Amino acid sequence: MPAITPAVDRTETVRHIRSFHARRSRIRPSAAAALDRLWPLWGIEIDADFNFAETFSSTDSVVLEIGCGMGDATVAMAAADPSTTILAVDVHTPGLGVLLRDSDRLGLQNVRVAECDAVTLLSEHIPHDALSGIRIYFPDPWPKQRQHKRRLIQPEFVALATSRLRPGGMFHCATDWRNYADQMLEVLDAEPLLRNNFEGFAPRPTWRPVTRFERKGIAVGHEINDLIFTRV
C-alpha cells in the first residue's frame, strides 16, 4: 500500500456542500436496539480522536459508501466480498440502526458505520491514497435547478474524494435522475485523476444490488445509470 500522508489539505478549497435534507425520522425499536447493542462494536465516532490508520490496518481494503441509507446494498455487498471492509456513512441514524441489525443477522465482520457528513469525513479525517473504493448510490438528486448546487457530485467534491482513493481504486456512482447522470459523467470525466472504465455510462453491474431508492426510481419509470471510474 502507498505511504499514507496526513489528511490536511484541500479543506480550504472545498466549498462545503450541504447535500442532505434536514429531517427527523422515527426509528423502529429493532433498529434502536441494534444501535444500542452494536454501535460499540462497529460504530466509529468521527471526531478529533479518529485516526484512519489506527482504525484500519494498512493491508485492509476499505471502501467508503457515502449515503448508505438503510444499508441494503451495503449488507449485500459486504456479504458477497468478506475481504473488503465497507465504511458506510450517512447523516441519519435510523438507517444506520437498520444496517447494523441486518449486518449482525448475517454475522458480517466487515461493515463499519459512521454518522457524519461525508464531505467533512473526507476532507478532515481520511488520508490521501487510503481507500480502495468510493460508492455513491442514488445520492439526493436535488431535482430543481436552483437546488443543483446542493448535489454532491461536483468538481471540488470529486477532486477531494479522488485524492483519498488509492491508485487503482474505483469511484462508482449510480443515479436514477438522467440530468444528474449527465452531470456526474461530465464532472467525473473532467477529473484528471480519474479514468472512465467504459465509454460513457457503465453497463449495470450484476454485482451491485438494487437499492431501496433505486427501486423507487424504477417504480416511477426512471432510467438507471451507473458510472464506474478508476483512480489513475
Ligand X SMILES: C[S@@+](CC[C@H](N)C(=O)[O-])C[C@H]1O[C@@H](n2cnc3c(N)ncnc32)[C@H](O)[C@@H]1O
The residues annotated with a catalytic role in the active site are 140
* Spatial separation of the C-alpha atoms in residues 24 and 99, rounded to whole Å: 18
- Cα–Cα distance list, 213 to 22, 66, 118, 188, 224 (Å): 18, 14, 19, 22, 11
For the CB of residue 18, give the shortest distance to ligand X in the complex, in Å.
8
Determine the residue with CB nearest ligand X: 67
* Residues 6 or more apart in contact with residue 48 via CB below 8 angstroms: none
User: Does residue 117 interact with ligand X by CB under 6 A?
Assistant: yes
User: Measured from the CB atom, is 38 or 152 closer to ligand X?
Assistant: 152
Contact segment (CB under 6 A) with ligand X among 85-93, 163-171, 184-192, 193-201 equals 85-93
User: Measured from the CB atom, is 132 or 175 closer to ligand X?
Assistant: 175
Strand segments, DSSP code E, in the chain are 61-66, 84-90, 111-115, 131-137, 165-175, 194-196, 225-231
Judged by CB under 6 A, which of 63, 90, 159, 226 binds ligand X? 90
Interface with ligand X by CB under 6 A: which residues? 19-20, 66-69, 89-92, 95, 117-119, 137-140, 152, 211-214
